[in-house]
Structure 1
Amino acid sequence: MKNFSAHPRHAALVLLVTASSPALAQATNAPLSREVPAVESAEPEAPGDIVVTAQRREQSLLRVPLAISALGGDTLQNKGISNSAALATAVPNLQVSSPYGNTQPNFSLRGISVANEYNSNQASPVGVYIDDVYIAARTSHGMGLFDLDRVEVLRGPQGTLFGRNTTGGAINFITRAPKLSGGSGYVEAGYGSFDTYRAQGAVEATMVEDQLGIRVAANFEKGDGQIRNVAPGGRDANSVDTLQGRVSLRIRPGNGPLDIKIRAYAGRDRGTQAGIHGLTGPDTPGQGFFEVNENSIGESRTDAWGVAANVALELGPQLTLTSITSYDGGKQNLQQAADGSPLDVLDINWRSNFRQFSEEARINYDGDALKLVGGLFYGWDQTITDNRFNIGSALGPGVNGGFFQHYRQSRRSHAAFLQGDYDLTERLVLTLGARYTWDKAKYRDGFAYLFAGNLGGPDLPIAGTVPCAGVPGTCAYDPAARYQVDGSNKALTGRAALSYTFDGGTLVYGSYSRGYRSGAFNGGGYTSSVGITYIDPEKVNAYEVGVKGRFLDNRLTLSAAGFYYDYSNQQVQDTRPGPVSFLVNAPKSEVYGAEVEASFRAFPGFVINASGGYLHADYKELTLQNTDLSGNALPFAPRWTATAGFDWTIFDTGTDAVTFSPTVNYFSRQFFSPFNAIDAVGTGQVNAELQQPAYAKVNASLAWSHGRAQIRAWINNAFDKKVYSYGLDLRGAGFPYNFLVPATPRTYGVTARLSF
C-alpha cells in the first residue's frame, strides 16, 4: 500500500476505472411502494432518471458534473434508512458517528469531518440543508427521515452555490411539497425488536386546483434501550422516543408566475443516552459488548423547530427570481454518564439553546447557450451554552465537585455568488462560479468556575476558571467576571469545470473547487481562558474527474469520480497539561481517492446495486500534545468502503409483487483520534483503543406489495456484528480510561404501509 499511495493521482485514476449504489438503483428499479413520486421537475431524459437541484436548478442526475448520491423517499423507506445517521450505509466515502448516539451526528465525507471536536457550537464541515435552508446547529442534524422527496449528498467542496462550511460537501434533505392536483397520502405502522413501535403518515389536499394545496406529515417512534444495562435498577441505553411533524402550504395565485411554498416543522427526541464503555467494558466479567454497567444512564432531550418561505417568481420564460427566508430554533439537554461505570466519576450535562435566521435571494437565467445562477445570502445563528461537568472526588478523596461553563456565541455571514454554464459547443460545457463570504463571530458572557457539590445537588463556587489566565483553580471566584473574544474572516471560493457529453449520453468532466469552513471559537474551554481563542478557517483545494452514464442498452447505470484535495487548517482539539483544552489548526493534510456507484439490471425483476470508495486521508503536518502526528490518518476515514446488494422481484402479477433486498456494507479500519495508535509521552494514553477494525454488516428486507398496500419485513446488522462507532481519549484529560460508544446491535421488525 505504501508504493501505491506514493502516487496519489495514479491511484485515483486506477480506482476510477477498476472499483465498482443504492443511490443509482432508483434510476433503473421501480420502487416497491406504488406511491406516485411527489417531485415536480424537468422532463427526465430516460425512464427512471432522477432529477436533482444540486446546482440550484433542475437537472437529470446523470447530467450534473458533480459527485452526487441521490436517494429518493421510496428508496430510503425500502432500505430502512429512518434517520440521518444511517445514510452511511448508502453513500460511498460517508461516515456518520457521534458520542451522543443519533444526536448531533458527525458527518465525515471523503475524510473531512469535525475530527475529535465534539462541542455543540462548532459548525459541521459538511453543510446540512433542509429544502435549501442551511441548518447551523449540529444537534438538529440528527433528524428522523420521513415524507421526503429525496436526499442529495454532494461530495467535495460546495463553496459556490451552497456557501460556507462545506469543505467536505453538502447534504440536502428535500421534503415533499403539495403538487396542487388532487389528493394523496399514506399511513405506515411498524413493530420491531426492543419493543419498538413506529408510525408515520402524510395527507395532501388540493383546495383550489393548480393554485392552493396543503400537505401534513408526522413521524413517531418509541422503543426500549438497545444497549442493556447490567447495573441493578439502571435504565438501558440507546432507547428511542421521537415525535415529529411538518406542514407544507403551497400557493400559486391564478396558476400564474408566482409560486409560494411555506413549510413549518417541529420535533423532539427523548431517548436515553448512548451506551458507553469506559471504566467497565466487554472485558469486564458479567458484561457483554452490547451491555453497559452504569448507575446513572442519562436522557438525551432535544427539540427542533422552524419555518421557511420559498417564493419563486417567473419574470419571463428564461428568468426566475427566488427568495428563501427561514427562522429555526432548538435546544439540547443531554445528560451523559461518561465514565461507563456504576461510580460517579464523570457525569456531564450538555445544555445549549439555538436560534438562526437566513435569507437568500437568487436569480436564475436559463438561456439557450448560457445558464446563470446568482444571488445574495445573509445568515445569523446563536448558541447559548450551559454545561456542567460533575467529577467524583474532584477536590480530594470523597470531596465531590466539578466545573460549570456558560457562554453565548453568535455568528453572522454575508455572501454574494454567481455561477454560469456556457455551451462552448453542442457537447462541451464550461462552468465557472465564485462566491465571496464575509463572516463575523462573537463569544460573549463567557464564564466558568470550579465548584463543590454532589451530582444532582446544588453547587458551591470555590474558584474562577474563566476568565482566568493562570493555573486552573488558582483564580478567586468573581460572579461578575466575564470573558469575550471577537473573530472575523473573509474568503473567496469557487468552481471551474469542463464537461463533455458523448453521443450515447455519457458525461465526462474535470473540475477544480475551493471550499471553506469559517473560523471557530473553542467551546471546550472551561478550565482556563487561555484556550479560548478564535482560530483560522479551514480551506480545501479540490481537483476531480468523473464519468457517469448508461451502458449496455441502458441496463447499467454508472457514476465514478476520482479526486485529490490539498486540505489546510482542519480544526482539531488539543488537550494540554492542566488539563486545558485548545482548539488548533492542523496545518496541512492530503486527501485523495475514488468512488464508483453502479446499478445493473441483470434481467427483468433483478437489479444489482454496488458502490465502492477508496480513500487516502493523511495529515502532512500536525503536532498535538507536543507529539508529531505527521503521516497519521484523519479520523473517521476508512481506506475502503463498499456496498453490494440486489433487489429481486421474485414474482410480479401486476397486482401483487414480492421483492427481496439484501445488502452488505463493508468498512475497513478507521481511527477515532488524530493520534491513531500513537500515545503522547507522559499522558497515560492508550490511543490504540480508539479505533474500529474492518467489519461488514448485512441488512435485508422482504416486501409484499398488493396494489397500494405493502408489508415489509426487515433486519439490520443481521449477524449482530460488534462495532464501535466513536471513541474519545479521556486519559489525556486526566481520567483513567478511554470513552468508546458501541453501535447498534441486530434489530428487526415488520412495517405495513398503505398509500392513497
Structure 2
Amino acid sequence: MFQRVTNRAIMAVLLCGAASPALAQSGQQTEPQADANSQDIVVTAQRRSQSLLNVPLAISAIGGDTLAEKGITNSASLATAVPNLQVSSSFGRTQPNFSLRGISVANEFNSNQASPVGVYIDDVYIAARTSHGMGLFDLDRVEVLRGPQGTLFGRNTTGGAINFITKQPKLSGTEGYLEAGYGNFNTFKVQGAVETSMVEDQLGVRVAVNYEKGDGQIHNVYPGGSDANSINTLQGRVSLRIKPDNGPLDIKIRAYAGRDRGTQATPLGIPSQRAGLGFFEVDENRVGLSKTNAWGVAANVALELSPKVTLTSITSYDGGALDLAQAADGSPNDVLDIGWKSKFRQFSEEARVNYDGDTLKLVGGVFYGWDRTITDNRFNIGSALGPGVDGGFFQHYQQIRRSYAVFLQGDYNLTEKLVLTLGARYTWDRGHYQDGYAFLFAGGVDSAMTPLATTVPCAGAPGSCAYAPNARYTLDGRNNALTGRAALSYTFDSGLLVYASYSRGYRSGAFNGGSYTSSSGINYVAPERVNAYEAGVKGRLFDNRLTLSAAGFYYDYTNQQVQDLRAGPVNILVNAPKAEVYGGEIEATLRVTPRIILNGSAGYLHATYKELTLQGVDLSGNDLPFAPRWTAQGGVDWKIIDTGGDSVTFSPSANYFSRQFFSPFNTTNVAGTGQVNSELQQGAYVKINATLTWRHDNFELRGWINNAFNRTALAYGLDLRGAGFDYNLLVPAAPRTFGVTGRVSF
C-alpha cells in the first residue's frame, strides 16, 4: 500500500507554501516637508544619533506620521515607501519575506529560516519571521538600511536591516491621540496612544493600542465558505522610561503583545474550475485561519559616564506562535490542505560603549543571541494513498541557534571634511536540529492520523521504512564569520555628502526545515556572503529646495540558500554558488512652491545567478526571484487650501514595477516534468494611490484610496505543473481599497 503514494501528490506537498506577498512598490524617503529648512530627520543607523543626510549609507527613514498618511499599516506594505525593496510571502500578511536589492529567501518558505534582511524593534533583533508581519502603529520612524550591515547589526544582514523604532515617553507633560477609520470590505480600525509624565523629567509611561478588523478581500463563491485575505488584528504596547533625578542613567522598558486571526491568502486555483470567476474570486471549500501571536519585553539601559562616553545594555526576551490552516489548491475539493504550526522563543543581550570625541567616534561591544523553533506541520493530500484514500505526512522538529559576536566601528576625521570609517565584527554561530521525526499517515483533513510508515529518520523511499514511533533525527551545524565595513566620506561646504564604501555581509548556515519524506534531505548548508561596493551622494541643493539621495552598488553574492527538489522526491536546501547584483537608486523631494512638493524615487536592479543548478538544469543567467529590473514612484503633496487654522492637502502617487519572476527557474522548464514556469511571473504594471487630508487645529480627517483603478496583478507563484498537476499555483495581489480616517490629538 505504501508504494501507492504517488510522486505527484508528494511533490505537490514538497513544493507547497502557497499564499501571497505584498508586491513591492517604491516611494519617498522621508516625510513631506512644507519647508525644506525644517529640522532634519535624526537616525541611529550607526548606533548613534545623526542627521539622515550626514550618514554615508543608503537609508530610507520614514516617520510615523508619513506611514499613516501613506496607508502603510503593516510591515508587509512597507515596500510602498522604499526603493528596491520587495515584500513577498507564502502566507499573505503573515511571515513577510523582505527582498532588498534582490537579496531574499528566494524559493524558501519554512518558518525556521532566518531572513537575510535583519528585522529589529528598537535595536532588538527579531529572529522569527512570523513576528515580522507586525502591524505598524505609534512608531517614531522606520529606518531601512540597504546593503550589508555586518558590523553594527550583525549576522543575517546580507541584504540590509530594517529597524522599527517605537515612540518613547518624553518625560514632559501629557499627550496622546485617538484615531478611527472605516473602509471598504467592512474594514474598521481604531488606534490610539496616551503618554503621561508622573515625575517631570524623571518618570513617564506611554501606552498604545491598535485594532483592525475587515472582511476578506478575495470573494469566495463556495456556499458558506469564508472570504480570503480578511483582517483581524489586535496589538498593544507599554513603554516605561525612568531617568532618576534627570541624571546620566536612562532606563527604557518596553513590553508588547499582539495577535492576528485573519483568513488565509488563497490561490486562484485550478483553471478548469474557475469558469465564471473574476480575478479577485475563488471557489475554495476550506479557507483557513492564519492565527499568529507575538510578544516580548526589552530593557534599554544607558549610562552616560562622561560627555563623551556612554554605556548601553539592551536585553530582550520574545516569543510567538503560528497556527496556519492553509488550503493550497484553491478548489472545492480536498486536494492539498496544510496545517503549519510553530512556536518561537528568543533571548538576546547586547552591551556596547559609545565614544564621541572631536576627531574620533567609536562604537564597540559584544552580543549574545539564542532562539528556538518547535515545528509541527501536517500535510493532507487528497487521494494520497490511492483513489479515494486520503492521507499525508506529519512532521516535527526542534531547532536551536546560538550566536556570539564582538564588534567595533570607528569614524576618524582625516580632515575637517574627510572622514574614514572602519569596522569589523566576528561572529560565532552554532545550530542544533533535534527531536526530528516524520511519518506517512492515513486520514482525511478532519480525521485523526493513523501512522503507516516512518519517513524521518529513514534514508529510503517514502513508505519503505516501518513505523518507528521512538525514532529521532539529530544534526549539528556551526560556522564563524568575519564581516566589516570600510568607507570614505567627504562633505562639501554646501553640505553635500559623497561617499564610497566596501561592506561584507553574512547570513548564517541553515538547516533544511522542508524535508519530511526522507531524512536524506535534512542537511546544514553553508553561510551566505556578500561583498558589496557602493558609492553615493546626498544633500540639499538649489537653496534647499531639492533634497536628493542617490547610490550605485555592486555585489559579489555567494551561497544564497535555495530549495532544490531531488529524486525521491526530496527537497534539499542547497547553496547557489554565485550571483551578481548591481544597480542604483535615487530619491528626491522638490519644494516647487510653499504649497507644492514633488517627491519621487527610482531604482534599477540587475540581479542574476552566475552559477546555479536546480533539478539538474543549469540556471546561470536567470534573474533572482522578486527582483524587478525597474521600480519608480512619483507623487505630489499639494496643499490646496491653507488658511492658517485649516488646510487641505491632496497627495496622489503613481508606482511602476517592471517584470519580476517568482522562481529561480524564471521561464526555464525541466524536461519531462510538464513545467510551464513562464506562468510564474508578473509583467510590468502601474498602481495609483491617493490621499486627501483636511486638518483643523488638532483634528485631522483623511480620505484614502490604494490601487485606485483596481489593477490586477499576481503577488506570488509556485510551480505545480512540474509535480504532475494541470495548473500552477498563482496568488492575486490586493484589489482596490479605500476609506476614511479621523484623528484627534491632545
Do both proteins adopt the same fold according to a TM-score greater than 0.5, normalized to the shorter chain? yes
Contact between 1:27 and 1:49, CA under 8 Å: does it hold in 2? no
1:754 correspondence with 2:737? no
Q: Secondary structure at the match of 1:458?
A: coil
Deviation at 1:681, TM superposition (A): 1.4
Matched letter for residue 221 of structure 1: E
Distance in 1 separating the partners of 2:219 and 2:710: 14
1:379 correspondence with 2:369? yes
Deviation at 1:367, TM superposition (A): 0.1
- Deviations along 1:318-366, one digit per CA (max 9) or x if unpaired, are 0000000000000000100001111100000000000000000000000
1:517 correspondence with 2:507? yes
Greater mean alpha carbon deviation, residues 649-658 or residues 381-390: 649-658
Contact between 1:446 and 1:483, CA under 8 Å: does it hold in 2? yes
Contact between 2:30 and 2:63, CA under 8 Å: does it hold in 1? no
Q: Secondary structure at the match of 2:305?
A: strand
> 471, 488, 496: which is aligned to 1:481?
471
Distance 1:139 1:545, change over 3 A: same
Matched letter for residue 558 of structure 1: L
Q: Secondary structure at the match of 2:113?
A: coil
> 394, 406, 414: which is aligned to 1:416?
406
Distance in 2 separating the partners of 1:207 and 1:284: 61
Matched letter for residue 592 of structure 1: Y
Matched letter for residue 48 of structure 1: Q
> 191, 212, 226: which is aligned to 1:221?
212
Matched letter for residue 566 of structure 1: D
Q: Secondary structure at the match of 1:276?
A: coil
Distance in 2 separating the partners of 1:238 and 1:48: 40
Aligned partner of 2:519 in structure 1 is 529
Contact between 1:575 and 1:733, CA under 8 Å: does it hold in 2? no
| Paired residues for 1:128-527 under 5 Å | 128-280=119-271, 284-527=274-517
Deviation at 1:23, TM superposition (A): 3.9
Aligned partner of 2:7 in structure 1 is none
| Paired residues for 1:105-116 under 5 Å | 105-116=96-107
Contact between 1:276 and 1:741, CA under 8 Å: does it hold in 2? yes
Matched letter for residue 235 of structure 1: S
Deviation at 1:167, TM superposition (A): 0.2
Aligned partner of 1:104 in structure 2 is 95
Contact between 2:528 and 2:559, CA under 8 Å: does it hold in 1? yes
Q: Secondary structure at the match of 1:456?
A: coil
Aligned partner of 2:559 in structure 1 is 569
Matched letter for residue 208 of structure 1: V
- Deviations along 1:671-693, one digit per CA (max 9) or x if unpaired, are 00000000111211111111111
| Paired residues for 1:534-683 under 5 Å | 534-683=524-673
Aligned partner of 2:33 in structure 1 is 28
After TM superposition, where is structure 1 displaced by more than 6 Å over at least 4 residues in a row?
Answer: none
Deviation at 1:208, TM superposition (A): 0.2
Matched letter for residue 296 of structure 2: G
- Deviations along 1:391-434, one digit per CA (max 9) or x if unpaired, are 00000000000000000000000000000000000000000000
> 700, 717, 733: which is aligned to 2:707?
717
Deviation at 1:731, TM superposition (A): 3.2
Matched letter for residue 61 of structure 1: L
Distance in 2 separating the partners of 1:104 and 1:673: 18
Deviation at 1:205, TM superposition (A): 0.3
Q: Which runs of 5+ in 2 are unaligned?
A: 1-25
Contact between 2:293 and 2:322, CA under 8 Å: does it hold in 1? yes
- Deviations along 1:538-578, one digit per CA (max 9) or x if unpaired, are 00000000000000100000000000000000000011232
Distance in 1 separating the partners of 2:287 and 2:202: 51
> 47, 62, 67: which is aligned to 2:38?
47
Distance in 1 separating the partners of 2:98 and 2:207: 29
Aligned partner of 1:691 in structure 2 is 681
| Equivalent pairs, count | 721
Q: Which runs of 5+ in 1 are unaligned?
A: 1-20, 31-44
Q: Secondary structure at the match of 1:678?
A: coil
Aligned partner of 2:698 in structure 1 is 708
Aligned partner of 2:13 in structure 1 is none
Matched letter for residue 274 of structure 1: A
Contact between 2:30 and 2:61, CA under 8 Å: does it hold in 1? no
Aligned partner of 2:8 in structure 1 is none
Q: Secondary structure at the match of 1:316?
A: coil
Contact between 2:311 and 2:354, CA under 8 Å: does it hold in 1? yes
Matched letter for residue 528 of structure 2: E
Deviation at 1:733, TM superposition (A): 4.1
Contact between 2:208 and 2:237, CA under 8 Å: does it hold in 1? yes
Deviation at 1:715, TM superposition (A): 0.3
Distance 1:358 1:93, change over 3 A: same
- Deviations along 1:186-221, one digit per CA (max 9) or x if unpaired, are 000000000000000000000000000000000000
Distance in 1 separating the partners of 2:192 and 2:226: 31
Deviation at 1:22, TM superposition (A): 4.7
What TM-score comes out, normalization by structure 2 length? 0.96
Q: Secondary structure at the match of 1:140?
A: helix
Distance in 1 separating the partners of 2:369 and 2:663: 32
Distance in 2 separating the partners of 1:65 and 1:355: 35
Distance in 2 separating the partners of 1:146 and 1:301: 20
Distance in 2 separating the partners of 1:27 and 1:314: 34
- Deviations along 1:588-631, one digit per CA (max 9) or x if unpaired, are 00000000000000001110010000000000000000000000
Deviation at 1:27, TM superposition (A): 6.2
Deviation at 1:726, TM superposition (A): 1.1
Aligned partner of 2:14 in structure 1 is none
Distance in 2 separating the partners of 1:432 and 1:76: 33
Distance in 2 separating the partners of 1:100 and 1:55: 33
- Deviations along 1:471-524, one digit per CA (max 9) or x if unpaired, are 111111100000011000000000000000001000000000000000000010
- Deviations along 1:246-265, one digit per CA (max 9) or x if unpaired, are 00000000000000000000
Contact between 2:269 and 2:282, CA under 8 Å: does it hold in 1? no
Distance in 2 separating the partners of 1:383 and 1:613: 36
Deviation at 1:46, TM superposition (A): 5.0
Distance in 2 separating the partners of 1:332 and 1:123: 16
Contact between 1:593 and 1:613, CA under 8 Å: does it hold in 2? yes
Deviation at 1:280, TM superposition (A): 3.8
Contact between 2:43 and 2:50, CA under 8 Å: does it hold in 1? yes
Distance in 2 separating the partners of 1:139 and 1:261: 25
Distance 1:352 1:735, change over 3 A: farther
Q: Secondary structure at the match of 1:213?
A: strand
Greater mean alpha carbon deviation, residues 217-226 or residues 725-734: 725-734
Deviation at 1:25, TM superposition (A): 4.4
Q: Secondary structure at the match of 2:463?
A: coil
Distance in 2 separating the partners of 1:574 and 1:739: 18
> 44, 47, 69: which is aligned to 1:56?
47
